């Protein structure tokens, strides 16, 4: 058990190394671009420009530049953006991580639980009005763009019906630290969680329903019936268990991407300064050090999420254990 | 009498019309008797036994007639009651052991699951019973086998596990749906030995579905031959093999290569192919392929009649 984990860990490091090299080359070794001028910012004095050039090693070979960059991100943590303003990149990323993680984790719990319930209910009553209703609602959830839904949510809970009994508990937009104010943390995130998860509830509910119905055609379901098991047990123990593999695959990809910054639209709509917002702003300003750091961070989460998915596979499907 | 099926009819509504998969099948089964059910694919042998098990879940199916198990009518029995019998008193072994077991649970877990569905015993007690059962079906190392997943076992071993599962609650009736078809010949022989031995120790009655006359001749006490959803001949094994009456039975027996004596240059085959259940020929369904076809065959469907050895054929009735 230890060896495959180590091997997987090695693969993760290798993939992250590859990503970092490619991103580095795109932003720092593009012919004709002067990364030093970018980092120093507009109207930088020649002295600042020279300092930047020296500090990032732009006057030395490319591999030294790469190593210097990685050292600044991972070892010393003193990567600085827009040197004339002196904004430290690593602390900025570190401050954004809890915001995004809170948003995505909460939404993920919500969408996994709700979509499993919906998928099972629809599969168990397939063909009935309940099934049709749930699948229609799922489609509706998939078709609502998250920025639109978020704005509608805000319109309802922040302005139009904010004073009614139903939404008076909703705090103003923004993020509250969990350690400072757990209740406030929870309340500010409820509406963003719902908004972000609705799309995924729709997708996952439909995917799970299809997978369960497919496994209900399998021979071993007939065996389970012949054993005299109850329909509930057949559904939950025999059909659901084998259907979760597609679900987990999808989850790993979506979760990794969201934590890596794809929750941008939700973050913007609800005024949450997470990784998505940070990356977006960095791209707007072509803030190279910040882009480098956020991309490294995002790739780390995508890679970790995929590794976790692989381990969950092994737990779910014993056939993968021996190979 | 453990099982008594009378005039069983199973039909499926399809887009192309009504398919009569089973059209008036009757048979009886005595305690610890082995009944061989023979027929080609689509002859209705599996469907009729799935009906007995209450395993026809297709909402487009209708089941008519009577299935009495120990005097109790099973047709129309509530699902709950039926479930209490299934796996407990009536157990089934399926054709393909590769797909008959849930891939994500161990053999031991799956057998114990069935025991605990019907007996109120602890998990560890159930596991002890599983080990006994696996030993009984000749697993070389039953304790180790319990923690194996289906994909870690060979086809023959999986079929043994399926049989152990079927036997776990001491069923009075065992339905085996081509349990040897997917296996190698040598493994087949082992499984047949096992079924025979288990019949002796558990006193279960067995319905053994197969298309292999060789298997029937080794195993069955009585034989029932099916064609296009009807029983065309029934009788004891000796009667059927020494004195086959229905032309279809004769043709089936004729297509087995003889072990002794001169070998025919070509094995005789039955001309044509089984009819579509949607468009059965007028009169006797075997008529168009029958070598002794004559006028009355096209007019009406021949009755099987009563008697222990009977054939549904106008020629036989005439003789």
**What rounded mean pLDDT belongs to chain B?**
83
**What rounded mean pLDDT belongs to chain A?**
84
| Closest residue of chain B to A314, computed from CA coordinates | B104
Taking the CA of residue A138 and the nearest CA in chain B, the distance in Å comes to 26
In the predicted structure, residue A171 carries a pLDDT above the cut 60: yes
Is B114 within 8 Å of A228 when comparing Cβ atoms? Answer: yes
Strand-pair category, B173-177 with B205-210: parallel
- Are B246 and B316 contacting, i.e. CB atoms less than 8 angstroms apart? yes
Report ipTM (2 d.p.).
0.84
The full length of chain B comes to: 319
* B91 interfacial to chain A (CB closer than 8 Å): yes
d(CA B10, CA B69): 18
- Residues in chain A within 8 Å Cβ distance of B99: 218-220
Comparing CA positions, the residue from A198, A173, A211 lying closest to residue A110 is A198
In the predicted structure, residue A24 carries a pLDDT above the cut 60: yes
Is A319 within 8 Å of B151 when comparing Cβ atoms? Answer: yes
| Closest residue of chain A to B177, computed from CA coordinates | A223
Banded model confidence at residue A322, pLDDT cuts 50, 70, 90: low
d(CA A100, CA A175): 10
d(CA A189, CA A186): 5
Portion 198-227 of B in contact with A at CB < 8 A: none
In the predicted structure, residue B319 carries a pLDDT above the cut 70: no
| C-beta neighbour count of B143 within 10 angstroms | 13
Pick the range with the lowest mean pLDDT from A260-274, B28-42, B109-123, B176-190. B176-190
Residue A311: per-residue pLDDT: 80
Facing residue for A229 by CB, picked from B53, B117, B151: B117
d(CA B281, CA B287): 8
Is B87 within 8 Å of A241 when comparing Cβ atoms? Answer: no
Banded model confidence at residue A122, pLDDT cuts 50, 70, 90: very high
Taking the CA of residue A255 and the nearest CA in chain B, the distance in Å comes to 25
Comparing CA positions, the residue from A248, A224, A206, A55 lying closest to residue B83 is A224
**Interface with A, mutate which of B53, B80, B104, B105 (most A CBs under 10 A):** B104
CATH ID of A98-284, from 1.20.1740.10, 1.10.3720.10, 3.40.640.10, 3.30.360.10: 1.10.3720.10
Strand-pair category, A87-88 with A80-81: antiparallel
Facing residue for B86 by CB, picked from A228, A233, A241: A228
Pick the range with the lowest mean pLDDT from A12-21, A72-81, A138-147, B295-304. B295-304
B243-273 pLDDT, tens digit per residue, is: 888 888 888 887 777 667 777 777 777 777 7
Is B86 within 8 Å of A220 when comparing Cβ atoms? Answer: no
In the predicted structure, residue A96 carries a pLDDT above the cut 80: yes
For residue B246, list its beta bridge partners.
Answer: none
Q: Mapped to the 3 state alphabet, what secondary structure does chain B carry?
A: CCEEEEEEEEEEEECCEEEEEEEEEEEEECCCCEEEEECCCCCCHHHHHHHHHCCCCCCCEEEEEEEEECCEECCCCCHHHHHHHECCCEEEECCCCCCCCCCCCCHHHHHHHHHHHHCCCCHHHHHHHHHHHHHHCCCCCHHHHHCCCHHHCCHHHHHHHHHHHHHCCCCCEEEEECCCCCCCHHHHHHHHHHHHHHHHHHCCEEEEEECCHHHHHHHCCEEEEEECCEEEEEEEHHHHHHCCCCHHHHHHHHCCCCCCCCCCCCCCCCCCCCCCCCCCCCCCCCHHHCCCCCCHHHHCCCCCCCCCCEECCHHHHHC
| C-beta neighbour count of B147 within 10 angstroms | 11
d(CA B209, CA B94): 10
Cα-to-chain-centroid distance, residue A95? 16
Any idea what DSSP says for residue A83?
T
- Residues in chain A within 8 Å Cβ distance of B83: 228-230
Under DSSP, is residue A81 helix (H, G, I), strand (E, B) or coil?
strand
In the predicted structure, residue B146 carries a pLDDT above the cut 70: yes
In the predicted structure, residue A120 carries a pLDDT above the cut 90: yes
Query: pLDDT exceeding 70 applies to what percent of chain A?
Result: 98
The full length of chain A comes to: 323
A185-219 pLDDT, tens digit per residue, is: 888 888 899 999 999 999 999 999 999 999 988 88
Is A222 within 8 Å of B91 when comparing Cβ atoms? Answer: no
Pick the range with the lowest mean pLDDT from A130-134, A310-314, B158-162. A310-314
d(CA A39, CA A289): 7
In the predicted model, what is the mean pLDDT of residues A150-176? Answer: 80
Residue pointed to by tokens 């093999």: B241
* B94 interfacial to chain A (CB closer than 8 Å): yes
Residue pointed to by tokens 């609705």: A198
Banded model confidence at residue A45, pLDDT cuts 50, 70, 90: confident
Residue A83: per-residue pLDDT: 57
Residue pointed to by tokens 């579509």: B276
| C-beta neighbour count of A55 within 10 angstroms | 16
Portion 38-67 of B in contact with A at CB < 8 A: 53, 55, 57
* A318 interfacial to chain B (CB closer than 8 Å): yes
d(CA B25, CA B8): 5
Max Cα-Cα span within chain B: 67
- Phi, psi dihedrals of residue A258, rounded to the nearest 5°: -65, -45
E strands, chain A, in order: 80-81, 87-88
- Residues in chain A within 8 Å Cβ distance of B57: 225
In the predicted structure, residue B182 carries a pLDDT above the cut 80: no
Residue B317: per-residue pLDDT: 65
Cα B44 to Cα A45, A220, B217, distances in angstroms: 91, 21, 21
**Chains A–B, number of C-beta pairs less than 8 Å apart:** 74
Is B86 within 8 Å of A225 when comparing Cβ atoms? Answer: yes
A123-139 pLDDT, tens digit per residue, is: 988 888 999 999 999 99
Is A226 within 8 Å of B94 when comparing Cβ atoms? Answer: yes
Is B94 within 8 Å of A230 when comparing Cβ atoms? Answer: no
Backbone conformation region of residue A49, classed left if phi is above 0, alpha if psi is from -120 to 50, else beta: alpha
In the predicted model, what is the mean pLDDT of residues A172-187? Answer: 82
Comparing CA positions, the residue from A234, A246, A155, A251 lying closest to residue A197 is A251
Pick the range with the lowest mean pLDDT from A80-94, A100-114, B54-68. A80-94
- Label residue A164 exposed, middle or buried (CB < 10 Å: 0-12, 13-18, 19+): exposed
Query: pLDDT exceeding 90 applies to what percent of chain A?
Result: 16
Is B103 within 8 Å of A228 when comparing Cβ atoms? Answer: no
d(CA B197, CA B200): 5
Per-domain residue ranges of chain A: 98-284
Taking the CA of residue A10 and the nearest CA in chain B, the distance in Å comes to 28
Facing residue for A226 by CB, picked from B87, B99, B149: B87
d(CA A73, CA A294): 10
Contacts of A171 (CB under 8 A, 6+ apart): A184, A187, A188
* B151 interfacial to chain A (CB closer than 8 Å): yes
Is A229 within 8 Å of B87 when comparing Cβ atoms? Answer: yes
Facing residue for B99 by CB, picked from A219, A229, A318: A219
Residue A29: per-residue pLDDT: 79
Comparing CA positions, the residue from B171, B247, B177, B246 lying closest to residue B215 is B177
Contacts of A158 (CB under 8 A, 6+ apart): A170, A172, A173
d(CA A197, CA B187): 53
Q: Which domains does chain B have, with CATH numbers?
A: 3-89+172-256+269-318 (3.40.50.300), 104-168 (no CATH)
- Are B173 and B29 contacting, i.e. CB atoms less than 8 angstroms apart? yes
* A230 interfacial to chain B (CB closer than 8 Å): yes
- Are A264 and A280 contacting, i.e. CB atoms less than 8 angstroms apart? yes
- Label residue A38 exposed, middle or buried (CB < 10 Å: 0-12, 13-18, 19+): buried
| C-beta neighbour count of B49 within 10 angstroms | 20
In the predicted model, what is the mean pLDDT of residues B13-32? Answer: 85
User: Helix axis angle, A275-284 relative to A288-316, nearest 10°?
Assistant: 140
A218-270 pLDDT, tens digit per residue, is: 889 988 988 888 888 899 889 998 888 888 888 888 888 888 877 888 888 88
């Amino acid at each position: 058990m230890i060896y495959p984990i180590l091997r997987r860990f090695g693969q993760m490091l290798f993939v992250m190394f590859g990503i970092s090299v490619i991103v580095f080359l795109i932003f720092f070794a593009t012919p004709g671009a002067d990364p030093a001028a970018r980092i120093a910012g507009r109207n930088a004095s020649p002295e600042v420009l020279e300092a930047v050039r020296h500090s990032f090693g732009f006057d030395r070979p490319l591999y030294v530049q790469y190593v210097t960059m990685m050292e600044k991100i991972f070892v010393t943590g003193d990567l600085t953006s827009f040197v004339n303003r002196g904004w430290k990149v690593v602390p900025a990323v570190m401050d954004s991580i809890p915001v995004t993680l809170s948003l995505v984790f909460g939404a993920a719990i919500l969408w996994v639980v709700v979509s499993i319930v919906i998928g099972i209910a629809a599969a168990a009553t397939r063909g009935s009005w309940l099934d049709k209703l749930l699948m229609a609602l799922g489609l509706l959830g998939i078709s609502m763009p998250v920025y639109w839904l978020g704005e509608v949510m805000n319109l309802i809970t922040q302005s139009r019906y904010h004073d009614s009994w139903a939404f008076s508990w909703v705090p103003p937009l923004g993020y509250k630290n969990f350690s400072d104010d757990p209740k406030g943390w929870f309340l500010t995130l409820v509406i963003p969680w719902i908004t972000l998860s609705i799309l995924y509830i729709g997708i996952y509910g439909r995917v799970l329903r299809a997978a369960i119905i497919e496994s209900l055609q399998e021979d071993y379901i007939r065996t389970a019936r012949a054993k005299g098991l109850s329909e509930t047990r057949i559904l939950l123990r025999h059909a659901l268990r084998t259907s979760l593999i597609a679900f987990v695959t999808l989850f790993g990809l979506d979760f990794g991407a969201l934590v890596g910054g794809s929750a941008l639209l939700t973050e913007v709509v609800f005024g949450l300064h997470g990784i998505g917002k940070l990356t977006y702003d960095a791209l707007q300003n072509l803030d190279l050090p910040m882009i480098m750091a956020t991309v490294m961070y995002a790739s780390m989460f995508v890679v970790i999420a995929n590794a976790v998915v692989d381990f969950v596979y092994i737990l779910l499907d014993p056939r993968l254990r021996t190979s | 009498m453990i099982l008594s099926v009378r005039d069983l009819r199973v039909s499926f509504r399809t887009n192309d019309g009504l398919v009569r998969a089973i059209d008036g099948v009757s048979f009886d089964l005595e305690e610890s008797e082995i009944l061989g059910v023979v027929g080609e694919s689509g002859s209705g042998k599996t469907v009729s036994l799935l009906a007995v098990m209450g395993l026809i879940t297709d909402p487009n199916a209708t089941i008519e007639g009577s299935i009495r198990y120990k005097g109790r009518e099973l047709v129309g029995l509530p699902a709950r009651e039926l479930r209490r019998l299934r796996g407990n008193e009536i157990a089934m072994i399926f054709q393909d052991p590769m797909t008959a077991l849930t891939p994500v649970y161990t053999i031991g877990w799956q057998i114990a699951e069935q025991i605990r569905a019907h007996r109120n015993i602890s998990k560890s007690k159930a596991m002890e019973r599983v080990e006994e059962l696996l030993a009984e079906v000749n697993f070389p190392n039953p304790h180790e086998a319990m923690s194996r997943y289906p994909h870690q076992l060979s086809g023959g071993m999986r079929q043994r596990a399926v049989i152990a599962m079927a036997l776990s609650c001491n069923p009075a009736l065992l339905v085996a749906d081509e349990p040897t078809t997917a296996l190698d010949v040598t493994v087949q022989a082992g499984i047949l030995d096992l079924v025979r031995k288990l019949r002796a120790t558990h006193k279960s009655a067995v319905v053994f579905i197969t298309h292999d006359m060789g298997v029937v001749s080794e195993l069955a006490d009585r034989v029932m031959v099916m064609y296009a959803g009807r029983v065309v001949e029934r009788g004891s094994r000796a009667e059927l093999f020494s004195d086959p009456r229905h032309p279809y039975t004769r043709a089936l027996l004729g297509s087995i290569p003889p072990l002794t004596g001169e070998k025919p240059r070509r094995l005789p085959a039955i001309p044509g192919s089984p009819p579509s259940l949607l468009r059965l020929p007028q009169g006797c369904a075997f008529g168009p392929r029958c070598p002794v076809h004559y006028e009355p065959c096209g007019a009406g469907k021949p009755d099987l009649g009563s008697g222990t050895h009977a054939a549904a054929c106008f020629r036989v009735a005439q003789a």
